[in-house]
């Protein structure tokens, strides 16, 4: 108890010292220990630091459900933050607290996924375009005909629904492409690998694989089983990007899905606090495609690879036009006052 009081007194002292001018920004995230989300949080910290306008970050970052996120957002309101950047647990579940925040004059920016509460701003990767871009490239690579293995994300997730729309749009443009197998990987490495092993073992004929970001284990499965490689599309996770340069005979493409969208969310929140609100409440970040077939694509892949990055992180660490931090700042993962 004594220690607790001492710690609290120290923390109070620190809070007192930091009471200079500048914005106080709250962050709420409900998935801990996932490379993409960790990059997102580091991008938020780095952007807050690089902007020079943020006095302190108040981060609620733990594994919980929508009810827990309601608690976190309400605690952030109690903490008196100027803006809250949130990666919502789901689109509807946290609306009540988001409304309470905006009613209290707090700017709320939802990143990565949307919320349906209209008073919030949304800054998200364009997931429909993500799937369309990769699928279109894959179908062209397959010569416009053949069967594709369609390895989706988690059933019912907002991002998965959007990606499905993009994939279907590309399918419609290539009438001779059929789906050999459709599976949900749940964005779990082990599950995805088991599924592709089963598909290879079953001898279902296919000419290409589209994945929703569970990619490097799919390449591993081909290499380990000795099955002939087909074109594979994945996300820009460091492991897969490395394989695109190193695995003999692999044709593939990485579509960017930057976790640094979190940094862009902080940048947007600061812009709105500065009085420069965007005309639209929803801002979409468009993905890029890096393939290893042309020299131009190979150069992009080489430029993106960075040995200092965690292998679990997406290699696209910044979003041009939005984020202002340096590579060193995001790797350091330090916010203002740390």
Partner 1 sequence: MKRWIEANTWTLGLAVLLAALLLLTKLIQPDFGASGLDSLARAALPFALATVGMAIVVIAGGIDLSIAAMMAVASVTGAVLMDGASDGQSVVIVIGVLLLGLAMGAINGALIVVSKVPDIVVTLAMLFVWQGVALLILNAPGGGAAAWLRALSAGGVPGIDWLPRAVVFLAIVTAVIWIPIRRSKLGLRLYAIGSDPLAAFRSGVPVGQTRIIAYALCGLFAALGGLSVTMSTGIGEPIPGPYLLASVAAVVLGGVVLGGGRGGLLGPILAVFILRTVRMDLTLLSVDPNVAAIIEGTIMVAVVMFGAVLATRGRKT
Minimum separation from the CB atom of position 214 to partner 1 (A): 19
243, burial (CB in 10 Å: exposed 0-12, middle 13-18, buried 19+): buried
Q: Are 186 and 157 in contact (CB under 8 A)?
A: no
Which one, 45 or 300, has the nearer CB to partner 1?
45
Select from 159, 114, 110 the least CA-distant residue to 264: 110
CA distance 63 to 38: 12
Which one, 23 or 137, has the nearer CB to partner 1?
23
Which one, 62 or 165, has the nearer CB to partner 1?
62
Q: Are 46 and 25 in contact (CB under 8 A)?
A: no
CA distance 214 to 240: 9
Minimum separation from the CB atom of position 85 to partner 1 (A): 14
Which one, 41 or 253, has the nearer CB to partner 1?
41
Select from 44, 49, 59, 214 the one that contacts partner 1 (CB under 8 A). Answer: 59
Window 144-163: contact mask with partner 1 (x via CB under 8 A): -----------xxx------
Contact range with partner 1 by CB under 8 A, out of 64-72, 228-236, 249-257, 283-291: 64-72
Select from 268, 257, 265 the least CA-distant residue to 317: 257
Q: Is 15 in the site for partner 1 (CB under 8 A)?
A: yes
Window 218-247: contact mask with partner 1 (x via CB under 8 A): ------------------------------
Q: Are 328 and 306 in contact (CB under 8 A)?
A: no
DSSP 237: B
Residues that bind partner 1 (CB under 8 A): 1, 4, 7-8, 11-12, 15, 32, 56-68, 70-72, 74-80, 89-96, 155-157
């Amino acid at each position: 108890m004594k220690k607790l009081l001492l710690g609290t007194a120290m923390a109070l002292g620190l809070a007192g010292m930091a009471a200079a001018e500048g914005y106080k920004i709250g962050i709420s995230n409900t998935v801990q220990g996932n490379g993409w989300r960790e990059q997102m949080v580091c991008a938020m910290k780095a952007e807050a630091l690089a902007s020079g306008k943020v006095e302190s970050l108040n981060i609620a970052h733990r594994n919980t459900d929508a009810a827990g996120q309601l608690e976190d957002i309400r605690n952030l309101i109690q903490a008196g933050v100027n803006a809250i950047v949130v990666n919502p647990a789901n689109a509807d579940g946290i609306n009540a607290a988001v409304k309470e925040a905006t009613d209290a004059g707090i700017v709320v920016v939802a990143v990565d996924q949307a919320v349906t509460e209209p008073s919030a701003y949304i800054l998200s990767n364009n997931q429909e375009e993500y799937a369309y871009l990769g699928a279109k490239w894959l179908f062209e690579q397959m010569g416009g005909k053949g069967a594709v293995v369609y390895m989706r994300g988690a059933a019912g997730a907002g991002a998965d629904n959007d990606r499905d729309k993009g994939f279907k749009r590309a399918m419609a443009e290539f009438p001779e492409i059929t789906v050999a197998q459709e599976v949900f990987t749940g964005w779990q490495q082990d599950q995805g690998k088991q599924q592709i092993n089963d598909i290879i073992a079953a001898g279902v004929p296919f000419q290409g694989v589209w994945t929703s970001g569970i990619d490097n284990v799919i390449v591993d499965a081909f290499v380990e089983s000795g099955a002939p490689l087909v074109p594979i599309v994945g996300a820009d996770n460091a492991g897969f990007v490395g394989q695109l340069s190193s695995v003999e005979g692999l044709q593939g493409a990485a579509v960017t899905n930057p976790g640094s969208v979190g940094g862009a969310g902080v940048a947007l929140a600061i812009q709105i606090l500065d009085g420069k609100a965007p005309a639209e409440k929803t801002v979409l970040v468009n993905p890029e495609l890096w393939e290893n077939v042309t020299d131009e694509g190979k150069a992009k892949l080489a430029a993106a690879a960075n040995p200092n990055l965690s292998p679990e992180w997406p290699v696209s660490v910044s979003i041009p036009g939005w984020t202002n931090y340096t590579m060193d700042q995001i790797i350091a993962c330090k916010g203002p006052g740390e």
